[in-house]
A and B are shown apart, each in its own frame.
Chain A
Amino acid sequence: MPFKRYVEIGRVALVNYGKDYGKLVVIVDVIDQNRALVDAPDMVRGQMNFKRLTLTDIKIDIKRVPNKKTLVAALEAADVKNKWESSSWGRKLIVQKKRASLNDFDRFKIMLAKIKKAGVVRQELSKLKKETTC
């Protein structure tokens, strides 16, 4: 089981602890064994311990410590946002956020929809059961 995601310049990572929890950031430089210089379009470039980062599969093509402008352009070119939001990990996070922000009324509507869906599924299942027993 070799490693597949490496810490390298241009690696996109998810912050899993701290003030920027949940943000996608790009590793733009490695400071020492434990820390990386990290940057994102909506934050000031700063250092972060690797323990606060979870590496993703996405990597972009940048040189060591680019300007904000170059970084944003590289992110656009690699289409990181869409790649992330269409990946199963990214989709899961979006669903989690949506569920957490649900209103009481929204939860009620979802309950009705779930019951309806289960009813439809059960009908189809009973139809299929009838066919096989006969």
Chain B
Amino acid sequence: MAPQQRKPHVCRNPDLIRGVGKYSRSKMYHKRGLWAIKAKNGGAFPKHEKQAVAAAPSEKPPKFYPADDVKKPLVNKRKARPTKLRASITPGTVLIILAGRFKGKRVVFLKQLTSGLLLVTGPFKINGVPLRRVNQSYVIATSTKVDISGVNVEKFDDKYFGKKVEKKKKKGEGEFFEAEKEEKNTLPQDKKDDQKSVDAALIQSIEAVPDLKSYLGARFSLKAGMKPHELVF
């Protein structure tokens, strides 16, 4: 026999209109079977003994009363969670970036980070967009999907993209300035390797679809006659 499925219990006293039930108090008394419960208990409704309340520990009067009444802040039970992801954005979706230096670029979506930002990659070889974070609001999701199964994006999180904090050196400003600038301009080699490893699998699945590579390499722009509210992306 299949596990016993309980039928959802229908309400005993359906509403005729809001606030008015179908059955009167006396009918409901009968329906609920209170008469049977009373009969079982010898004429009176079964009662529980009141549990003895443990004597509250005697509170000492406070030593200090504040001069003015301080208002307590209201209770806030909201939890921080990443922005709700649009249903049209799934891993592998091609997105169109709308703002920033990569505006118009068509880019592949990898995953949503805990901050709510979307992790995205060009791939770099195809259109010059590196592994990057992008806000959902500045993005149009197209209905084109790329197969993303061969890509491992576990190691990327918001910390990976954070700015590196460097120890300040106050002495010898003149000479140090130039040296620091040279260091900052180059990307660390491990980030370049990460980009390559993510893109390798992606580019394979992109080349499997005809024209997709040149599609991702081209920028999106509105031409004459295109009405954004009528376009299907």
A56-110 interface (Cβ within 8 A of B): 100-105, 108-109
B118 at the interface (CB under 8 A from A): no
Tell yes or no: B183 within 8 A of A by CB. Answer: no
A105 (CB) vs chain B CBs: closest residue: B144
Contact A112 B211, CB 8 Å, known A103-B144, A104-B142, A104-B144:
yes
Closest Cβ of chain A to B52, distance in Å, is 70
Residue ID in chain B nearest A108 by CB atoms:
B215
How far apart are the CA atoms of A112 and B212 in the complex, in Å?
12
Chain A residue at minimum C-beta to C-beta distance from B214: A112
Complex contact B230–A104 (CB within 8 A): no
Q: Are A104 and B220 in contact (CB under 8 A)?
A: yes
A105 touches B142 (CB 8 A): yes
Rounded to whole Å, the gap between the CB of A110 and the closest CB of chain B is 11
0/1 per residue, A95-134, Cβ < 8 Å to B? 0000011111100110010000000000000000000000
Complex CA distance for A101 and B212, rounded to whole angstroms: 19
Q: How far is the CB of A29 from chain B (nearest CB, A)?
A: 37
Cβ–Cβ contact B230 & A105, under 8 A: no
Interface residues in A18-47 by Cβ distance below 8 A to B read: none
Q: Which residues of the other chain, B, contact A108 by a CB distance below 8 angstroms?
A: 211, 214-215, 218
**Does A103 lie within 8 Å of B233, measured CB to CB?**
yes
A103 to B220, CA, bound (A): 13
Which B residues lie within 8 Å of A104 (CB)? 94, 96, 106, 142-144, 220, 231-233
C-alpha spacing A112/B144, complex, angstroms: 17
The interface residues of chain A lying within 8 Å CB-to-CB of B106 are 104
Interface size on A, residues (CB 8 A): 9
* Residues A109 and B211 in contact in the complex (CB < 8 Å), given A103-B142, A103-B143, A104-B220: yes
Cβ of B215 and Cβ of A103 under 8 Å apart?
A: no
> Is the CB–CB distance between B212 and A105 below 8 Å?
yes
* Docked complex Cα distance between A11 and B142 (Å): 42
Q: How far is the CA of A100 from the CA of B233 in the complex (A)?
A: 11
Taken together as a complex, chains A and B put the C-alpha atoms of A67 and B214 apart, in Å, by: 55
The complex places the Cα of A90 from the Cα of B72 at a distance, in Å, of: 71
CB-based contact A105/B94 at 8 Å: yes
Chain A residue nearest to B212 in the complex (CB): A105
Given the complex of chains A and B, what is the CA–CA distance between A103 and B214 in angstroms? 16
B232 in contact with A105 (CB, 8 Å): no
Contacts of B231 in A (CB 8 A): 104
B interface with A by C-beta (< 8 Å):
94, 96, 106, 142-144, 211-212, 214-215, 218, 220, 230-233
Chain A residues within 8 Å of B, Cβ to Cβ: 100-105, 108-109, 112
Nearest 6 pairs of A and B residues by beta carbon: A105-B144, A104-B142, A108-B215, A104-B233, A109-B211, A103-B143
- Chosen A-B contacts, 29 in total, with CB atoms closer than 8 Å, are A100-B230, A100-B232, A102-B232, A103-B143, A103-B144, A103-B232, A103-B233, A104-B94, A104-B96, A104-B106, A104-B143, A104-B144, A104-B231, A104-B232, A104-B233, A105-B94, A105-B142, A105-B144, A105-B211, A105-B212, A105-B215, A108-B211, A108-B214, A108-B215, A108-B218, A109-B211, A109-B215, A112-B211, A112-B214
